Amino acid sequence: MIGTKSNPPGGRRQRASGPFDFLFLALVSGPGRAEEGQDARAPHSPWRRGRVEGDGVTLFERFDGSDVRKLVEDYPLAWVCGGGAAAMEASLLPLVGRFDEDGALVELIGHLARSNPLRAALTADPRATILFRGPDSYVSPDHAGVRDWAPTWNYAQLKVRAEVRFDEALTEYALETLVEAMEKGRPRPWSIAELGDRYHAMLGGIVGFRAIVTGLTGKFKLGQDERAETRVSIIGSLPDPDTVAWMRRFDRGRS
């Protein structure tokens, strides 16, 4: 379990957690999603596609900490972007998060090759944008069961702002934590010790880092604005089980 390991070098005391029991962030972005049982596109509903509500948050931007946790738990490989617009560097990196005793996200831990240009970019300017992409699927009018309905694309995404700090003392911890999280639940979990002497040779080519989180936004466009019968049709006919599962998640109490 991630929570049973010692704290990362230089890290603050964290509460115990399970693998990917991170990003459990209680977002204070105004009221929650539409009231339970409310049809998001009923004739007299205040909710409309993409409408900005009084608190400046759209329907698709209404989610909670468990949604964030689930997204990153299922899709831990994220784009880490750094550098100026004219010379931006970006890499797909697997990340493990940590949060404080109140459940707020405080940092993401990862590693990358020392030769990766992203390292130089983030050393010069530590500000990073980290993008998590969840499930996505094209939705045809055939899926909706309505021929005069415009096609759309359903998806889920998170954007994390962070300050990246490279830390050689963190490298082994970052690797061990990632491997433990990824191997958990497998019939024969693999461990780094099985690399033998090769491990230390490989270790010299990478460096660990912590990304101190400074902000988080997200968008979960999963049919919340559709009429009940349209949502039912899409959920029943869309061939992508991952997107369907997330549509059901955001359809709780509304069918």
The rounded distance, in Å, linking the Cα atoms of 252 and 223 is: 12
Structure confidence by residue, pLDDT tens digits, 99-158 = 777 666 778 999 999 999 999 999 999 999 999 999 999 999 999 999 999 999 999 999
Average pLDDT of the chain, as a whole number = 80
The rounded distance, in Å, linking the Cα atoms of 20 and 250 is: 21
Phi and psi torsions of 88, nearest 5°: -70, 140
| pLDDT computed for residue 55 by the predictor | 64
- Amino acid identity of residue 57, one-letter, is V
Structure confidence by residue, pLDDT tens digits, 179-228 = 998 998 999 999 999 999 899 889 999 999 999 999 999 999 999 999 99
Q: Is 71 exposed, middle or buried (CB count within 10 Å of its CB: 0-12, 13-18, 19+)? A: buried
Tally of CB atoms within 10 A around 231: 24
Structure confidence by residue, pLDDT tens digits, 9-18 = 765 444 433 3
**Positive or negative: CA dihedral 65, 68, 73, 74:** positive
- Residue bearing the bigger pLDDT, 3 or 71: 71
pTM greater than 0.85: no
The pLDDT confidence band at residue 253, using thresholds 50, 70 and 90, is low
The rounded distance, in Å, linking the Cα atoms of 25 and 191 is: 30
The rounded distance, in Å, linking the Cα atoms of 125 and 171 is: 20
Residue pair 49/238 in contact (Cβ under 8 Å)? The answer is no
| pLDDT computed for residue 18 by the predictor | 38
- Amino acid identity of residue 35, one-letter, is E
Closest to 113 in 3D by CA, of 211, 8, 203: 203
Residue pair 164/124 in contact (Cβ under 8 Å)? The answer is no
The rounded distance, in Å, linking the Cα atoms of 226 and 144 is: 9
Structure confidence by residue, pLDDT tens digits, 17-46 = 333 333 333 222 333 333 333 333 333 222
Return the HEC string of 181-246: HHHCCCCCCCCHHHHCCHHHHHHCCEEEEEEEEEEEEEEEECCCCCCHHHHHHHHHHCCCHHHHHH
Largest CA-CA distance found in the chain, in angstroms, rounded? 68
| pLDDT computed for residue 74 by the predictor | 87
DSSP per-residue string spanning 7-54: PPTTPPP-----TT--------SSS-SSPTT--TT-TT-S--TT-B-T
pLDDT at 52 over 60: no
Q: What CATH number is given for 24-167+210-249 in this structure?
A: 2.30.110.10
